[in-house]
Amino acid sequence: MGSISNGAGNASDVAFRDPKVYQEYERKWSALPEDEAGWLKRAQEVADVLAVDAGVRDKENISPKAEVTLLKHAGLLKVLGPKKYGGGEQPWSVGYKLIRKIAEADGSLGMLLGYHLLWSTTANVVGNPEQADRFQKLIIENNYFIGGAVNPRDSDLKITSQGDKIVFDGFKHFNTGGVISDLTVLEGVYEDTSDHIFAFAPTNQSGIQFAHDWNNIGLRLTESGSVKINRVEVPWADALGWDAQEKKPYPEVLKIPFGSLLLPTIQLVFSNFYLGIALGAQDYASKYTVKSTRAWPYGGDNKENATDEFYILATYGNFHAHLRAAVALANASGEQVNAIYAKYSGDLATRARLTERERGELAEWVASTKVVTTDTGLRVTAGVFEVTGAKATSQKVALDRFFRDIRTHTLHDPVAYKNRELGEFQLLDKVPEPTWYT
């Protein structure tokens, strides 16, 4: 056990395990996988390592500096990055499957990987082509982990201009992964306008002050607590999608449907770690039932083994069917994301060809997946207790972490609004207008 002080101005020390506990994997995984099968194999190897003590780490609530280092050793942070800078250059569908696989073992690390993949590609969507290339080079070559202080329900950070720099000031009740990140995505409103600016800033500086107050029931290792931003300076040239000379947004970057693709992209990130958590719960509970659950002796159709009982078999079979369907839907939605990015990424003329209708139909694929993975995930992670038995509620078993994790994040934005949105799509052929949650 060690401790770290996350930059000047952060009064609290954060307990974490020494990243050297995973040093052997830096050598073992020195080369990146070459194809989807290789990446999935790598993610399974990482998940196997995380699964060994996931319940213990959840209970101890220790900052996951070492575990993020493990993700770095595995190369998972680079999976979407261009090969010319040392990335895997895989499509989003592969990234989503890696998120899902890691979440099967550890929901917190699956969430952190998912948010990182989104934030690390921010400039590809809301930056101009020069910025997109420059930040991909910076992030991938340095194997940086990216956190984000982008919580739209808070009052936005205020941005002022000082010469060739912009200055962020304000407070966010939630950030994700910032405490153990190399760079943090900041977002706020530029002075006397309603225009938003995204920018990357080095995390380890006095102006980024984490409160270390994340103590929720689930996703305990995501470092999602509050953060104060105090006069954090960023060069105007790094204001994503903005003209540094005119100090105005480029409409051809930010005022087109392509410029709002981060929202459906991250909503599908959510669905995939929900799904991974649910799959993890099913697998964990299944092993427990086979090994430890006792048959009920007062049912009138008594069996010697729990695995022979009708209701246990039927329940697991139902979970299996619904999760298999959810996986198929999540994979299909991932292919839709692939198709949009493959067709419209690149120069500004190419981006401009994405229509509102195409963007909206993608959002409805994602909304469908969000509804199904939320409903199925909550039902499975709560329902496994019915087929594992009373002893499975012991903290030593740690089966409850799956439900706590998925319950915590499925409250991020109410799924009821996704149902309504899909109803309007079905009945009125109406696609949603882009929002911070759509």
Q: How far is CA 173 from CA 76, 106, 226, in A?
A: 28, 24, 4
**CA–CA gap between residue 243 and residue 236 (Å, rounded):** 8
Give the list of residues 6+ apart from residue 369 with CB closer than 8 angstroms, or none: 268, 271, 326, 329, 330, 333
Q: How far is CA 317 from CA 103, 130, 286, in A?
A: 22, 51, 11
Domain locations in the chain as residue ranges: 2-145, 148-250, 257-428
What is the band of 156 on the pLDDT scale with cuts at 50, 70, 90? confident
2-145 belongs to which CATH class?
mainly alpha
Q: Which value, in Å, is the radius of gyration of the alpha carbons in the chain?
A: 22
Report the range of poorest mean pLDDT among 13-27, 136-150, 243-257: 13-27
Amino acid of residue 79: V
CATH number of 257-428: 1.20.140.10
Closest among 263, 268, 180 to 225, alpha carbons compared: 180
The distance from CA 408 to its chain's CA centroid, rounded to whole angstroms, is: 13
Per-residue pLDDT reduced to its tens digit, 69-79: 999 999 999 99
Per-residue pLDDT reduced to its tens digit, 396-437: 999 999 999 999 999 999 999 999 999 999 999 999 999 999
Q: How far is CA 426 from CA 366, 414, 423, in A?
A: 15, 19, 5
What is the band of 298 on the pLDDT scale with cuts at 50, 70, 90? very high
Q: Could you tell me whether strands 165-172 and 196-202 are parallel, antiparallel, or unpaired per DSSP bridges?
A: unpaired
Amino acid of residue 272: N
Looking at beta carbons, which pairs linking 287-296 to residues 24 or more positions away fall under 8 Å? 288/388, 288/392, 288/397, 288/399, 289/316, 289/387, 289/388, 292/388, 292/389, 292/391, 292/392, 293/387, 293/388, 293/389, 293/392, 294/389
**2 has pLDDT over 80:** no
Residue 184 phi/psi, 5° resolution? -120, 130
Mean pLDDT of 159-174: 96
CATH 2.40.110.10, domain 148-250, yes or no: yes
Per-residue pLDDT reduced to its tens digit, 194-232: 999 999 999 999 999 999 999 999 999 999 999 999 999
Half-sphere exposure for 294 (CA within 13 Å, toward CB): 5
The distance from CA 166 to its chain's CA centroid, rounded to whole angstroms, is: 28
* Angle, CA 93 vertex, CA 90 and CA 96 arms, to 5°: 105
pTM reported for the whole predicted model: 0.96
The whole-chain average pLDDT of the chain stands at: 95
pLDDT of residue 73: 98
pLDDT of residue 13: 56
Mean pLDDT of 366-375: 98
**111 has pLDDT over 50:** yes
